[in-house]
Structure 1
Amino acid sequence: MIKTTIAEVHKYVGEEVKIGVWLANKRSSGKIAFLQLRDGTGFIQGVVVKNEVSEEIFQAAKTVTQESSLYVTGVVQKDERSPFGYELNVNGIELIQLATDYPITPKEHGTEFLMDNRHLWLRSKRQHAVMKIRNEIIRSTYEFFNNNGFVKIDPPILTGSAPEGTTELFHTKYFEEDAFLSQSGQLHLEAAAMALGKVFSFGPTFRAEKSKTRRHLIEFWMMEPEMAFTNHEESLVVQEEYAAYIVQSVLKNCQLELNTLGRDLSKLEQIKTPFPRITYDDAVKLLHEKGFDDIQWGDDFGAPHETAIAESYDKPVFIVNYPTGLKPFYMQPHPDRDDVVLCADMIAPEGYGEIIGGSERIHDYDLLKKRLEEHNLPLETYNWYLELRKYGSVPHSGFGLGLERTVAWISGVEHVRETIPFPRLLNRLYP
């Protein structure tokens, strides 16, 4: 007997296989039962015909309950009607555990109920598809940066300083010292870039931001590269090449999942380099033309503003050169203007907002020290960061991509709470 998985059944057409599965759903008539089976690798329909199996097997097929676990045996058949392309003609059922009163039924449920049962909601076909797309983005991220000479570095999660210099931090005691949960690994990655040239991290970050929008999470994952001897323009090229690469990887390897979610593939097929660019100055003018008279030069853009700007493009757009006052202390000033910095936000199309933020970093010791003082940041806390500018300082740049917003955009789901296995929201720490 061949023991396999749903994802591998294409190798065994016409052969009998055994698969460990859960029953996602079923329907039956007097002479045939259709079992919707899942095993973590995918979903497949199992067909049980009464006159082809024993009475015991057919009764098992009719009485088995939603989310019961079982081993099924059967012959793999091609099925052009199935989105998956195959089905299983079941001839054997071995019950492992009979589930009773499974709370998430095929009927409609409210979002809060589903979030309370997130540990079970993950089993649904839709959530399965989103998690597979998330996994492909992570896989292709490592592939892209490994192929381009980057070294994976893991910055600390417990830190003594704030990269963004904000109050939106989770405070904790580190024995006798104050510590914070990391909101970015950037500062430590800059140190690593001075040792290894091109580095990247991929890990959890935390923002104590009391926001309830569909774009915000309290705990989320970020991909952050830092590159020595790299200016802002060179960094923008890496950013757009990376974003295009992960989109094309999902298109190539997650067609079934994208179709499950009803994603418009034509939108993703357009995501190829180069990406358009617009200055902050021109973005303000564009918003005025679109009726956003309230926005003034020096104001930050909110979700409606980013969406309005993105509507003018069919692929991600860079907004470059934001006012100095809007951005963190470490960003390099524009060479020709003292009121803007060399930075960019990449805004995703279709209303998904900022997915990447990046900049060239200040590499001059005196200027960085001045910026720290202007932001009232304690020099003793940032002394190690300043020392990077004392011992062989070089121009360098980096950026950060928010994984969950990127998953939401590529998969086409509305809210980031569906793009992370167990979301942490303003009002949710369970399950």
Structure 2
Amino acid sequence: MQQITISELKNFVGQEVTLYGWLYHKRSSGKIKFLVLRDGTGYVQCVYFKGNVSDEIFDIADRIGQESSIIVTGKVKQEPKAPGGYELDASDLKIIYDTHDFPITPKEHGIEFLLDNRHLWLRSKRQVAIMRVRHRVVKAIRDFFDGKGFTLMDAPILTPNAVEGTSTLFETKYFDLGSAYLTQSGQLYAEAGAMALGKVYTFGPTFRAEKSKTRRHLTEFWMVEPEVAFADLNDDMDLAEEFLEYIVQTVLKEKDEELKILERDTTKLQNVKRPFPRIHYNEAVEILKKHGVDFQWGNDFGGGDETIISEQFDRPVMVHHYPAEVKAFYMKRDPQDERFALAVDVLAPEGYGEIIGGSQREDDLDTLLKRIAEHNLPQSAFEWYLDLRRFGSVPHSGFGLGLERTVSWICGLEHLREAIPFPRLIYRNTP
């Protein structure tokens, strides 16, 4: 008797096998019991005929509860109407742990109840599909950069200073050295890596203490941040659109079943191919004004503004040359017009907002010193960062992509909280 996984059933048609897993749900039809087993790799219907199994086995099939852990033995049959296209003509059933009163039943539950039980909610078919898409997005990210000669460089999570100001930082005491902060970004460290290795990327958790309750915000999320030496803003935009196309097309190709479970309309994702439209900030402002938005030039775009802008295009749109006043201190300004930063945001369609933010970095020491002073940041905390300009400075660029926003968009989710296994929100840090 072979112990296999549900995902391997197609290789064992006509053979007797043993499966280990959990009871997803069950139903009865007279003298037949239908048990749907899940094992993390898929779902399969196990059919128990009263005349074909002992009364004891039939009784077990009748009384075990949802999410009981069980061992099922039976013959693999091809069945197009069954989940996954195969079913098990079951001959044996053993209980590992009999479960009753599992709190998440097939009925509707409120979101707070589901979040309180996130450790169990993850077992649902929808959540499993989302986690599989997330896994494939992560792999696509690594495959893309590894295949283009980038070196992964891990940035510290505890940092002595802010990347973009201290107002949205989580602060903690650090022994006798005063305060440390949970990182907002690995970018500054990635810049150091780019000066050593040419092309690098950081990929890890980041933290923002924004008191925001929108569907686009988490307090803990994952970011991938490539940084490239000798690259300008146009190079940065070229890399960003190639990267985004690769991720989306890879998921469409390899996670079709998961997207079907999520009932995702993939027609708009199929449009995510280069070239992406590129518009100046001024053009984006004109779009808003044409749609009746009372928008003041010089402001950053809010979520509603981004939605209106992105709705004008059938694929992600790249908005570049933002006013320097609303961007971070390290962004280089346009030498042709100092009002603008050499920055770009990539806005996803369907109202999912900014998923990439990037820029060409300021590579001149004196200018960077001036920017740090303008932003009222302590120069002493950035001396190591300034050394990157003192010793062999070169033009360089990079961007950051938010993993959860990307997963949320690809999966068609209403809120980022489903795009990460255990979401951290302004009023939630459990389970």
- Deviation at 1:88? 1.9
User: What is the aligned residue count?
Assistant: 430
Contact 2:228–2:398 (8 Å) recurs in 1:
yes
Which residue is equivalent to 2:139? 139
Which residue is equivalent to 1:208? 209
Which residue is equivalent to 2:248? 247
Within 5 Å, give how 1:270-285 maps onto structure 2: 270-285=271-286
Unaligned residue ranges in structure 2 (runs of 5+): none
Which residue is equivalent to 2:186? 185
Contact 1:186–1:224 (8 Å) recurs in 2:
yes
Within 5 Å, give how 1:339-358 maps onto structure 2: 339-358=339-358
Within 5 Å, give how 1:212-227 maps onto structure 2: 212-227=213-228
1:57-90 Cα deviation digits (max 9, x unpaired): 2221111110000111112222222352222222
CA separation in 2, counterparts of 1:389 and 1:320?
25
1:61-120 Cα deviation digits (max 9, x unpaired): 111110000111112222222352222222111100001211111110000000000000
> Residue 161 of structure 1: SS of its match in structure 2?
coil
Which residue is equivalent to 2:101? 101
CA separation in 1, counterparts of 2:406 and 2:429?
23
Contact 2:21–2:37 (8 Å) recurs in 1:
yes
Contact 2:231–2:396 (8 Å) recurs in 1:
yes
TM-score (norm 2): 0.98
Letter in 2 for 1:243: L
> Residue 132 of structure 1: SS of its match in structure 2?
helix
CA separation in 1, counterparts of 2:320 and 2:371?
21
Unaligned residue ranges in structure 1 (runs of 5+): none
- Deviation at 1:350? 0.5
> Residue 136 of structure 1: SS of its match in structure 2?
helix
CA separation in 2, counterparts of 1:82 and 1:338?
63
Which residue is equivalent to 1:320? 320
Alignment of 1:430 with 2:430, yes or no, is: yes
Contact 1:407–1:419 (8 Å) recurs in 2:
yes
Which residue is equivalent to 1:300? 300
CA separation in 1, counterparts of 2:351 and 2:396?
31
Alignment of 1:168 with 2:168, yes or no, is: yes
> Residue 257 of structure 1: SS of its match in structure 2?
helix
- Deviation at 1:394? 0.7
- Report the identity percentage: 57
Contact 1:84–1:256 (8 Å) recurs in 2:
no
Contact 1:152–1:201 (8 Å) recurs in 2:
yes
Q: In the superposition, relative to structure 1, how do residues 83 and 35 fare at CA in structure 2: closer, same or farther (>3 Å)?
A: closer
Q: CA RMSD in A?
A: 1.0
- Deviation at 1:403? 0.5
CA separation in 2, counterparts of 1:396 and 1:91?
65
1:140-186 Cα deviation digits (max 9, x unpaired): 11111110000011000000111112410000111122110000000
Which residue is equivalent to 1:264? 265
Alignment of 1:48 with 2:48, yes or no, is: yes
Contact 2:280–2:319 (8 Å) recurs in 1:
yes
CA separation in 2, counterparts of 1:34 and 1:395?
64
- Deviation at 1:11? 1.6
- Deviation at 1:420? 0.4
CA separation in 1, counterparts of 2:313 and 2:92?
54
Which residue is equivalent to 1:365? 365
> Residue 422 of structure 2: SS of its match in structure 1?
coil
Q: In the superposition, relative to structure 1, how do residues 119 and 225 fare at CA in structure 2: closer, same or farther (>3 Å)?
A: same
Contact 1:83–1:256 (8 Å) recurs in 2:
no
Which residue is equivalent to 1:81? 81
CA separation in 2, counterparts of 1:225 and 1:143?
13
Contact 1:18–1:71 (8 Å) recurs in 2:
yes
Letter in 1 for 2:327: K
- Deviation at 1:51? 2.1
> Residue 338 of structure 2: SS of its match in structure 1?
coil
- Deviation at 1:45? 1.7
Which residue is equivalent to 2:230? 229
Letter in 1 for 2:270: E
1:283-312 Cα deviation digits (max 9, x unpaired): 11100101102x111111111110011111
Contact 2:43–2:83 (8 Å) recurs in 1:
no
Contact 1:347–1:355 (8 Å) recurs in 2:
yes
